[in-house]
Structure 1
Amino acid sequence: MSTKSLPEFSLSGKVILVSGAARGLGLTQAEALLEAGATVYALDLLPAPSPDFEPIAARAEKEFGTRLHYRQVDVREVEQLNSVVGDIAAEHGRLDGLIAAAGIQQETSALEYTAADANRMFEVNVTGVFMTSQAVAKQMIKYGNGGSIVLIASMSGSVANKGLICPAYNASKAAVIQLARNLAMEWGPHNIRVNTISPGYIVTAMVEALFVRYPERRETWPKDNMLGRFSRPDEYRGAAVFLLSGASSFMTGADLRMDGGHSAW
């Protein structure tokens, strides 16, 4: 990225982690951070990232002079998580940012939800996000440069999705929004900012698979927002760069809702 225009959006020299970045939204946002000049580490549970990963990694080195790395990490394994994050920070002598995009979804009615399934949902979507943020913040404080943490929430954390039966998922995303506010309060004195992004319906491989089971949703869901369409993962690229960069230097404890007006009716 040129430093001659809008230098506050540059991430040159920054080291940023993106959890849940083996594929989907996390990987798309990781690519944007690379283009802005950051060195990026993708963390994910999968043994290997999607086929889209390697072309992006090659492009990062060839075109942007940056690097995209992959680390297999289970956000529920806190000791392993802290070890991986600590090693990355030690290698670079800094850690500047995090996008916590790791999460799971389950569509089950409230009367049929089991305690085990609910606990699994909260363990990944809330505790996992919390512990990932904590691991990163410890390193930010250790190296003294501050930083920016972005938690991927959802419009489902603010509204009940009509016809989508996901009580535990929606509760977990509401928890993420509130978690970010509290982390922002505690870590502000260390110059660490914490914000959330709340996407609307995004067409991903996971959603496409859902349409196979519920084909009517392809027609009805877009009608629920003011733009009358689904969003694409690439439409959240700019938000990632904005929140991780100096362009949002006075923004913390906030939720950036990008839902096509779904929850503004």
Structure 2
Amino acid sequence: MTTERSDLTDRVIPQMTLGDGSPGSLTAPPPPLPRDTPPAARAQERFRVKGNAIVTGGAGDLGFAVCRALLEHGLEGLMILDMNPDEAEKKIKMLQSEFPATIQFQKVDVTDEDAVNEAVESTSKSLGPVTTLLNFAGMVACGHALDWSSKDWNRVMNVNTIGAFLVARAVARTMIDHGSGGSIVFVASVSAHGVNFPQPQASYNVSKAGVKAMVKSLAAEWAVHGIRVNSISPGYMDTILNEGDGLDEARKVWLSRHPMGRMGQPDELSGVVVMLASRAGSYFTGADLLVDGGQSLLL
């Protein structure tokens, strides 16, 4: 993949193949919704989530909220990839009591390339073709840039950016093999759009800005295969990540600079995720959608 400086003049660079939108191709528009069905049925079909999904970080507050939303909108099979089996087991039991879908879990470190590939392959075998990926696995990190070691920096990048890519690539390969296309949704952050205050978190911001940029490149490359790639950028959300007495002062600052004066609730991410995973989002690709209550307006 890399080229030595002495060989630059002899290299032949690969080129993207773009879709043409022709009838029957994977970039063609979806067929019209039937006009002879009731309006409510057409509306339901527009936001129906078909097939099977992988959700990384699905045992966390945000990941769990979107898992439930996908199931509410018709998802048939769900695989949660997470590092917390105890929490995942509890969450899966809750979902299984509500929904008839097949719901499974695998403990997977998204930075382990072989483990990711094996998990995605086994998911395809147990559930069938994967049509949706939600990349919610991630980690937070705060600290003064002058104090960060390369090891600390790389750990954040490996989870938030490289790990997200490894999962997306593995899923994209299966989508291409099955000829099904699908939707891949990354989680960037409001932190990819500006500098947070008052906490210093350069490594986290860079990792999420990398996700935001990566989405555009993958969307361009994979569109011909019928794969739509987008990201959402949540603002501060009311989860365990933003709890604790040690964050009291920071929370006061965040809310004082927020147009709505509050953090978001996990379920407030659900609408945009369902849209991106359904035919309602069929012409969205390469987009980053801010879900921040206006926070980015005052960063």
Give the TM-score range, shorter chain. Answer: over 0.9
Paired residue secondary structure (2:243): helix
Alignment of 1:228 with 2:261, yes or no, is: yes
Q: Write the mapping of 1:80-229 to structure 2, written as runs, cut at 5 A.
A: 80-209=115-244, 212-229=245-262
**Unaligned stretches of 5+ residues in structure 1:** none
Contact 1:57-1:69 within 8 A present in 2 as well? no
CA distance in 1, matches of 2:178, 2:253: 49
Q: Which residue of 2 aligns with 1:68?
A: 103
How far 1:197 moved relative to its partner?
Answer: 0.2
Q: Which residue of 1 aligns with 2:112?
A: 77
Q: Which residue of 2 aligns with 1:49?
A: 87
CA distance in 1, matches of 2:122, 2:41: 30
How far 1:5 moved relative to its partner?
Answer: 3.1
Paired residue secondary structure (1:98): strand
1:159-214, CA deviations, whole angstroms, 9 ceiling, x for partnerless residues? 101212110000000000000000001000001000000000001012113xx213
How far 1:78 moved relative to its partner?
Answer: 1.0
Name the aligned partner's letter for residue 186 of structure 2: L
How far 1:70 moved relative to its partner?
Answer: 1.2
CA distance in 1, matches of 2:188, 2:157: 13
Name the aligned partner's letter for residue 176 of structure 2: I
CA distance in 2, matches of 1:144, 1:89: 13
Contact 2:143-2:199 within 8 A present in 1 as well? no
Contact 1:34-1:67 within 8 A present in 2 as well? no
Contact 1:108-1:165 within 8 A present in 2 as well? yes
CA distance in 1, matches of 2:216, 2:86: 33
RMSD between aligned residues: 1.4
Contact 1:151-1:176 within 8 A present in 2 as well? yes
Contact 2:139-2:159 within 8 A present in 1 as well? yes
TM-score if structure 1 supplies the norm length? 0.93
Name the aligned partner's letter for residue 116 of structure 1: K
1:7-29, CA deviations, whole angstroms, 9 ceiling, x for partnerless residues? 111014x1011001112101111
CA distance in 2, matches of 1:261, 1:44: 30
Paired residue secondary structure (1:170): helix
Q: Which residue of 2 aligns with 1:23?
A: 60
**Cα pair distance change 1:18/1:247, threshold 3 Å:** same
How far 1:4 moved relative to its partner?
Answer: 4.7
How far 1:47 moved relative to its partner?
Answer: 2.8
Contact 1:3-1:10 within 8 A present in 2 as well? no
